[in-house]
């Protein structure tokens, strides 16, 4: 190690130090943002800013000294604005979207919840590194499940009905007329409920192996007024009830499965004649070097903490990872028996594949 240190490039060292300092600041900013969400501070700022720390504390029922320090950290991060003349804090419209606009596709609070869950689960994942075993989805911190729904739901709401489904050949017409749909790995049911609301003549079946998520999905469907055309069941991806589905969907979950080939093969056997399999996966290039950027770093990191351990905890344990890329996903679908596969849509964070027999 001593000999290795003699070859230090001072410029590269300083650049790396600066990057690490930014990451440390960002990680602490994330905790501040997570706390501000849980304590209702951002919501209050939207309503009453510009505001002093004293008035914000009174509005939220919190201790002023803690609120003042929290506001100062947020101002230093650029998460809130500070006016030194009035000594008051405020949220710009852009800041309000990121930190307080629930259901807006650019709100980041769900993302923050997922990252906090990863920190909480670090001891379990580190142990998995040592043993080579997986970490089941059900063994993660509870805020992972809520954060996942909260993060993905606005993006699905912005794209699923108006962009992704219309991109599939002939599928929208089937759904409007009344179709049978299976949503595999539905979690809390956001995608299932969106389809049920948009296509009331269709019956949308939501399947997931995590019982608490299915129970939550049933409650959400009832609240959304779509209990009549949704069916939720606790079942694994390779075991969901078969039989003539016009559309089967998997949203950001195929790479989490232990046996994605087996799951896709079961999908194929469950499709009606002319049926469609829609796979939505995180956006990625086909090689590591294509993914060496901030979004790739995020996806690889979350895949290390969540996706890869989840797959390895299941049968086969293929561990595709969250950055599998279109080429590898296509190989999985072809191995499962699908013949026609094409990319039909994409966003900065997702790719959408259509697979047919």
pLDDT in tens, 299-320: 999 999 999 999 999 999 999 9
Q: What is the pLDDT of residue 36?
A: 98
The pairing of beta strand 245-251 with beta strand 340-346: unpaired
d(CA 201, CA 148): 28
**Start-to-end C-alpha separation, the chain:** 56
Domains along the chain with CATH numbers: 2-101 (1.10.10.10), 114-356 (3.40.50.150)
Q: What is the pLDDT of residue 1?
A: 58
Which pairs from 299-302 meet CB under 8 Å and 24+ separation? 299/323, 301/118, 302/114, 302/115, 302/118
Q: What is the pLDDT of residue 153?
A: 92
Q: What is the pLDDT of residue 3?
A: 67
Give pTM, 2 decimals.
0.92
pLDDT, the chain, mean = 96
Residues 196-208 as b or e (16 or more Cβ within 10 Å = b): bbbbeebbbbbbb
Which pairs from 23-31 meet CB under 8 Å and 24+ separation? 25/77, 28/73, 29/73, 29/74, 29/77, 29/79, 30/112, 30/115, 30/116, 31/116
Q: What is the pLDDT of residue 173?
A: 98
pLDDT in tens, 72-126: 999 999 999 999 999 999 999 999 999 999 889 999 999 999 999 999 999 999 9
d(CA 287, CA 232): 37
The pairing of beta strand 230-234 with beta strand 203-208: parallel
Residues 43-71 as b or e (16 or more Cβ within 10 Å = b): bbbbeebbbbbebbbebbebeeeebbebb
Query: Alpha-carbon dihedral of residues 25, 26, 31, 32, nearest 10 degrees?
Result: 70
DSSP calls for 297-322: HHHHHHIIIIIHHHHHTSSS-----T
pLDDT, averaged per 10 consecutive residues of the chain (357 residues), comes to: 75 94 95 97 96 97 98 98 97 97 92 95 97 95 89 94 98 98 97 98 97 96 97 96 93 97 97 97 97 95 97 97 98 98 96 98
d(CA 148, CA 208): 14
Q: What is the pLDDT of residue 103?
A: 87
Q: What is the DSSP letter of 239?
A: T
Q: Where are the alpha helices (DSSP H) in 101-247?
A: 109-120, 122-131, 142-159, 165-167, 171-177, 190-198, 211-223
CA 313 distance to own-chain centroid: 20
């Amino acid at each position: 190690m001593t000999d290795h240190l003699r070859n230090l490039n001072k410029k590269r060292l300083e650049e790396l130090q600066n990057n690490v300092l930014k990451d440390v600041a960002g990680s602490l900013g994330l905790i501040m943002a997570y706390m501000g969400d849980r304590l209702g501070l951002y919501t209050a700022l939207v309503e009453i800013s510009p505001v002093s720390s004293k008035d914000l504390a009174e509005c939220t029922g919190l201790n002023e000294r803690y609120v003042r320090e929290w506001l100062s950290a947020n101002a230093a991060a650029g998460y809130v604005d500070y006016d030194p003349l009035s000594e008051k804090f405020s949220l710009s419209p852009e800041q309000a979207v990121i930190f307080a606009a629930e259901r807006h596709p650019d709100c980041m609070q769900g993302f923050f919840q997922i990252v906090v869950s990863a920190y909480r689960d670090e001891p379990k994942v580190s142990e998995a590194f040592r043993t080579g075993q997986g970490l089941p989805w059900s063994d993660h911190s509870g805020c992972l499940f809520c954060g996942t729904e909260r993060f993905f739901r606005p993006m699905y709401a912005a794209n699923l009905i108006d962009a992704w489904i219309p991109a599939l050949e002939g599928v929208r017409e089937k759904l409007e007329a009344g179709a049978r749909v299976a949503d595999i790995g539905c979690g809390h049911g956001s995608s299932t409920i969106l389809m049920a609301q948009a296509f009331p003549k269709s019956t949308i079946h939501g399947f997931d192996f995590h019982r608490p998520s299915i129970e939550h999905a049933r409650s959400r469907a009832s609240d959304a007024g779509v209990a009549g055309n949704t069916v939720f069941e606790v079942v694994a991806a390779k075991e969901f009830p078969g039989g003539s589905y016009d559309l089967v969907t998997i949203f950001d979950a195929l790479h989490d499965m232990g046996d994605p080939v087996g799951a896709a093969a079961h999908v194929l056997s469950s499709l009606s004649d002319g049926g469609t399999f829609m796979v939505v996966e995180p956006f990625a290039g086909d090689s590591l070097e294509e993914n060496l950027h901030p979004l790739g770093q995020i996806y690889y990191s979350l895949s290390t903490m969540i996706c890869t351990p989840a797959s390895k905890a299941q049968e086969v344990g293929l561990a595709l990872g969250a950055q599998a890329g279109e080429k590898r996903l296509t190989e999985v679908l072809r191995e499962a028996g699908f013949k026609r596969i094409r990319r039909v849509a994409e966003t900065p964070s997702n790719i959408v594949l259509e697979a047919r027999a």
